[in-house]
A and B are shown apart, each in its own frame.
Chain A
Amino acid sequence: MVNALSTRRELRSPIRYVDWFLPLVAIGISVLGVLMNYSATWRVLEFEGNDPYQFAKRQTVFVLIGIVAMTVAALVDYRIVRDLAPQLYLIALAMLVGVLFIGKEVGGARAWFQLPGFQLQPSEFGKLASIAALAAFAASRDGGLQLNGLLNSVVLMAVPTLLVLRGGDLGTMLVYIAITMGVLLVAGTKVRHIVVLTLIGVAAITFAFTADDVFGIELLPDRQDERLRAFLDQDSNVTEANYQLEQSQIALGSGGLTGRGYLAGSQTTLNLVPEQETDFIFTAAGEELGFLFGSLPLLAAYFFLIWRILRAAQLAADMFGTLLCVGVLSMLLFQIFQNLGMTMGIMPIAGIPLPFMSHGGSSIITAFVGIGLVLNVRARRFAT
């Protein structure tokens, strides 16, 4: 009796069901990210008389913090996250409002708290809080989301989404929309509701981009407008965004099958791709390591990551667990697709970091915590 009980307890122990591949691949990608951060920044740093390792060192610290955060997120039972979801959501909203007033403006977006030594981007952590809140709300509705529940869910997500847009950060806003779409889809929204919602979304985006020309109301910053135009007409030769698109593709294309060699890519070392250590970090890997050693392994690693998260969503013990995984999946999938697509010229430019690779603490830590939550859900699929 005693024996059987203890065996059963052991069988249910979460540690038995940890998906070790998931964190290992994430850490692998982030190590490559540190190397590419160095490659993209050392020359200019050195030329300006700074420590050439400055960015690589910072990124290393971010990755280490991210790994610790991932471990913590995996250890605390995710059902506690469900119970605390309302509080987390309200804290995130408070921060998103606060940043509008006391935030620091970077590149036209007021999305950062300036803290000593680093900047904190509340919209990154807000993504996780919103995922938790939406998943908790949707999971509490029995038998799929009816119209009432759907509308409540949409309002729940609309508040942080609009706050992020108010801060001028269009890219991150799109991530929130992607999260909403993904979670609502799996939460059991009726197909016709999804179709209507999508149509409304498309109309809203079209309106936002054309409002300036048609109605004379400026809804989007010029910069964003310019980026979309540059994307739609890639041969136009006037804007910085267009230049960015072109240089980014030259970097990837000239990398070829085997790459130009680490620290030897001319686009990368000459700093010809703007914002390379952040949004365009993939081009550094693509140019210097090439298709075989850079782009393909990276694509495969990201695909593997996403696939394991999907698997975790399927295996989850309860609906909240499933939706939590789906939220993280939607967030990462959209960011990866949008970011890589942008560097390859199949998506317009929007300032979205590449998870685990782009320089920046908030984004790295958020991605790792997301993985931690997925590990948590999968490992506790038999735990009571």
Chain B
Amino acid sequence: MSDSSTSPDSTNTGLRLAFLGVVVVALFAALFARIWFLQVLATEEFRAKAETNQVRLVVLAPERGRILDRNGVVLADSEFTGVIRVNPSQFGEGDRELVLRELERLTGEPQEVIAERMDDLAAAPFSFRTVAIGIEEPLLELVTERSLPGVEAAWEARRIYPEGSLAAHVVGYIGAQPAGWVDDHPGASYLPNDRIGRAGVEGLFEATLRGTAGTSTVEVDRENNVVRELGETPSRPGDDVVLTIDLELQKAVEFFLDEGLREAQGRSSVDDPRFLYPAYAGVAVVVDVRNGDVLAMASFPTYKPEWLTDGITSAQYKATFNDPQRPGPLNNRAVQGLYAPGSVFKLVTSVAAARAGVITPRGQFVDAGSFTVPVPNGGTFSNAGKVVMGAVDLSTAITRSSDAYFYSAAYSISTLEGQAQWAIQDAAKDFGFGSETGVQLPFERPGTIPDPAVKKAIFEAIPEYQNEDNTIFWVPGDTINMSIGQGFVTATPLQIVNAYAAFANGGTVFQPNIVSQSISREVDTAGDVTREFGPRVSNTIDFSGVPVDVIREGLEGVPLNRISRAFGLVSGTASTAFDGWDHRGWGIVGKTGTSESDGINKVLGRKKEDNAVFVGYAPRDDPRYAVIVVMEESGFGGTAAAPVARKIFEALRTLEQTWEEPEDLPLLAAEPVGANCPELPITVLRDATIDLVVPEGCPFGEPIPVVEPGTADDEGALAPDSPGLLTTIVNRQRPPPSPSTTAKAGERQRW
């Protein structure tokens, strides 16, 4: 402070700082005055402006990806279609007649039809109802120009399924969101009226197919026409999903399965010749044993996805979804159907018995038609039809499907000590039974491989099963029942065919793939593979000590009449069905099954008929394809299912010649199945009548019971709920699907 010339205390600096202070005060006074004006004096005016702000945040709907078969054939696609919608609640006096008259003149549809759609009772009150779709652009403009009261013409994104019902259960369909969907998917930019994949690949790959919605800020005039655009984040299209399905094969499989079911419906029941077999439902699956690709998957009865996306008449709806002769058409029985595997399970029992050391493969056993459990448990288990087969070994027991042989082996297993007494359970789990296969389809069920804990859970959950003193023990009879795939054993057709595929390829249990990859459709990365499913291995079965050649010989004999040195003529259970087949050139290895099913046939009011099963693989010397055919209530596996399988094998043999060898891809580890997903009560798991919905994010698990579309609960979820702030949907050139008018799953629109 000694240096006075640089001191701020000099009068001059003080004065200049004071001047700066005046500037500061002046500037802040200006700001204060202005903000006072804006927020205190003129606030009413600005608040009114904010209310009627002519700026809208608009959601640009993304274009949904396609679903393609392995050769690129389109199974699901999106297109824009012109629609005319009417909201009768906006009519004034005399408008109704005017609108009906004008729409009849413009669209050529009769007034009664338009009126019926307009007054759709299923539609939400005060909503717009779609009265015409597939409108061409000129007509659309004409309707807009005419500006009739309560009438709007718009473009709407529509999902189309060019192949109709073909592979419908694999492709799935889109429909309205279940309640709470938007809240459960924060950050996925869903609007309450966006439709989502509800089943099949559409459902499981919702996030992949959907793409990302964009936003656009636009200024609009009083009629909501876009005046100018103020900023845009474009939407990004969803990826295409490529299936492993070969559509040609799929066509053949569906045709033959349908044909087989109808033939079965013409045969009279063996149990009671007064009745014909119902044969309402069936499953056929083809997998490639070399890599686990699912080449075809058919489930009957089936449906057309467009019925659920475009709407159907109530008559159609009843005929499709409430017909007792077409039970559960939406269910994909290949992964949701739980069946007692029956004799096809003997493959597992054979491996288990050999591992447990209770059989010698070539040792002879006398099949007396039944097997009696020694005291203290007692009880007699008979062959089907009480047939007496005489001397059999492991091979012929499989070929002729001797139950007594396996009863005896199972009883021996049940008398063992320690873990060895659970040899059948262990072998079954090795083959992948008792847990989901992990195929990329929703609602897959794990099936049941029973053990004491499972038995206890079932008995506790189902009161009718309980005895008086309420004791639940695992008895030898349980193991015996299990040995022939009955009792508490249940499995999905995909599990069974996957197990046989594993046997065919030397023990590699694949996690089957029904989706091979997803492909980007974004401009700069179009065609890039965004996700690839290589062959995924869930287990490798240890066959050491297992007489694989004897088991295979037994399975090879099933479609044959074979002369054995020890047993003479050995007639396989499917020898009739495969009569005349080129066994030398393209031999088939397989097993028939005829499994009892619980319960009562609701139509006929009598005990259900047996399910027919055939599972096998071919060619014998270089296994490539495994096939399963399951036909509900259709009689013997050898009679009903094997002929269908034969036709599928024929088709495979022909089509295969146009196919390329599959790529030799590195094997990948299986993906976790059902991890972090809540467990379902056993009663739900075992109840074949409950549809399950698996949401995205827990793709291979987390089943959540959901009511069938069309029931009251589901429609409640469709009601347009509180819009929130992001409701305006405009698709710039193409006006948006408006709330509540798009057809929904189960909605009864009358056309």
- Residues of A whose CB lies within 8 Å of any CB of B are 43-44, 46-50, 139, 142-144, 182, 185-186, 188, 240, 243, 247, 249-257, 266-267, 269-272, 274, 286, 290-291, 295-296, 299, 302-303, 306-307, 310, 313-314, 316-322, 326, 329, 333, 337, 340-341, 344-346
Contact = CB atoms under 8 A, between A and B. Distances in A.
A373 B19 CA distance: 22
A314 to B, nearest CB: 6
Interface in B1-32: 1, 3, 5-8, 12-14, 16-17, 19-21, 23-24, 27-28, 30-32
Interface stretch (B39-47, B484-492, B598-606): B39-47
B188 interface: yes
Contacts of A188: 12-13, 16
B233 interface: yes
A333 B24 contact: yes
18 contacts: A46-B187, A48-B189, A49-B189, A185-B19, A186-B13, A186-B16, A252-B46, A257-B43, A272-B55, A272-B57, A295-B39, A307-B21, A310-B20, A314-B14, A326-B17, A329-B24, A337-B30, A345-B34
Contacts of A296: 35
B725 A337 contact: no
Interface stretch (B211-219, B561-569, B662-670): B211-219
Given A48-B233, A322-B8, 7 more contacts: A252-B46, A302-B28, A314-B8, A314-B14, A319-B8, A344-B38, A346-B30
Contacts of B42: 253
Contact of B39 (A50, A255, A329, A346): A255
B385 interface: no
Given A266-B53, A269-B725, A317 B43 contact: no
A267 B13 CA distance: 46
Contacts of A48: 187, 189, 212, 233
Interface string B35-66: 11011101101110111010101000000000
Given A270-B725, A295-B35, A310-B17, A254 B43 contact: yes
Given A256-B47, A257-B40, A322-B13, A344 B24 contact: no
Given A256-B47, A272-B217, A186 B20 contact: yes
A286 B13 contact: no
Contacts of A182: 20
B230 interface: yes
Contacts of A257: 39-40, 43
A291 B35 contact: yes
Contact of B49 (A250, A269, A271, A320): A250
Nearest to A50: B187
B681 interface: no
Contacts of A319: 6-8, 13
Given A47-B189, A186-B13, A319-B7, A253 B38 contact: yes
Nearest to A249: B38
A133 to B, nearest CB: 17
Given A256-B43, A318-B8, A321-B8, A267 B20 contact: no
Contacts of A337: 27-28, 30-31
Contacts of B28: 299, 302-303, 306, 337
Contacts of A303: 24, 28
A306 B7 contact: no
Contacts of B1: 317-318
B192 to A, nearest CB: 14
Interface of B: 1, 3, 5-8, 12-14, 16-17, 19-21, 23-24, 27-28, 30-32, 34-36, 38-40, 42-43, 45-47, 49-51, 53, 55, 57, 186-189, 212-213, 215, 217, 219, 230-231, 233, 725-726
Given A274-B231, A326-B20, A286 B49 contact: no
B36 to A, nearest CB: 8
A310 B213 CA distance: 52
B89 to A, nearest CB: 27
A300 B8 CA distance: 27
Contacts of B40: 256-257, 291
Contacts of B45: 253
A286 B43 CA distance: 12
Contacts of A299: 28, 31-32, 35
Given A267-B50, A295-B39, A344 B31 contact: yes
Given A247-B55, A321-B8, A253 B31 contact: no
B53 to A, nearest CB: 6
B31 A272 contact: no
Nearest to B19: A185
A186 B46 contact: no
Contacts of A256: 39-40, 43, 46-47
Nearest to B16: A186
B38 A252 contact: yes
Nearest to A296: B35
Contacts of A240: 230
A346 B8 CA distance: 34
Given A271-B217, A299-B31, A253 B39 contact: yes
Contacts of B38: 249, 252-253, 286, 344
